[in-house]
Amino acid sequence: MTRLNIMLLLAVVASALYLVQVSYESRRQFVQLERERIQTQQLEQEAEKLRLQLRAQATHLRVDLIARETLKMSVATPAVTQYLDAAAGGSGGGSRAGGRP
């Protein structure tokens, strides 16, 4: 009978140790999951901020400003436009500066 009691005692102790190990592992994984959730939220916020910055960079006014200031571009006016006459044969001799055909 004492052998049976010792075997049962060892089984209960082993079961208790296993339960403690499983509880610890469960808590550790829960903490890791919460860290990952927080990191996911931070990355989503950063991605949304970057999307907003991209939209702000791609506005028509900003593109126009960069074209004018950085690339020194300007709007084409009739005074600087050259028209080619298609009937001239494409040799370039029939072009007139500043006028329409």
- 68 CB contacts (<8 Å, ≥6 apart)? 74
Specify the pTM: 0.51
Q: How far apart are CA 56 and CA 58, in angstroms?
A: 6
Q: What confidence tens digit (pLDDT) does each residue in 21-65 have?
A: 999 999 999 999 999 999 999 999 999 999 999 888 888 888 888
Beta partners for residue 96, in sequence order: 83
